Amino acid sequence: MPGVVLKSLGKHNDARGWLTELYREDELPEGFTPAMGYMSVTKAGVARGPHEHANQTDGFVFMSGQFRLYLWENREGYGDAKITLDVGDANPIFVTVPPGVVHAYKNIGADEAFVLNFPDRLYGGWEKKDEVDEHRHEDDANTRFTLE
């Protein structure tokens, strides 16, 4: 899918523990500049999404637990591709999800796990005074964007 970038993340281990570079400005896709960052915790067996943004690009980091990531192409002229990928502890990645790509993830592990996101737009705009840029397909019983 054009604009979707998956980058494997490595862990640098030493006697103190480990360190992972989540992203570097010199390795981000051209035009993607994160505006904020947050961490969410998802309980075992729970999904977030599917939803999409009209203008926002998300920059997700999956390196905790076990998640199934779902991506659906929903932009005019790009077809209807779907990608499903298991990510987290065993496959840590940074993924950018551009506007118009429907996305969801489900915690398929036994424990709660965290996800980091570095979107290029402020949630709710400056001082949270704007509408949230989000179309929630999970609220539509007839959606074609379903999780297995």
Domain that holds residue 78: 5-123+131-139
CA distances from 11 to 42, 89, 95 (A): 22, 11, 17
Residue 77 lies in a domain: yes
Q: How many domains does the chain have?
A: 1
Q: What pTM did the predictor assign?
A: 0.91
Percent of the chain past pLDDT 90, that is, above it, reads 90
Residue 147 lies in a domain: no
| Residue 34: φ, ψ to 5° | -60, 140
Q: Could you read off the pLDDT of 38-62 as tens digits, one per residue?
A: 999 999 999 999 999 999 999 999 9
Residue 75 lies in a domain: yes
Helix/strand/coil (H/E/C) assignment for every residue in 28-60: CCCCCCCCCCEEEEECCCCEEEEEECCCCCEEE
Give pLDDT, residue 18.
86
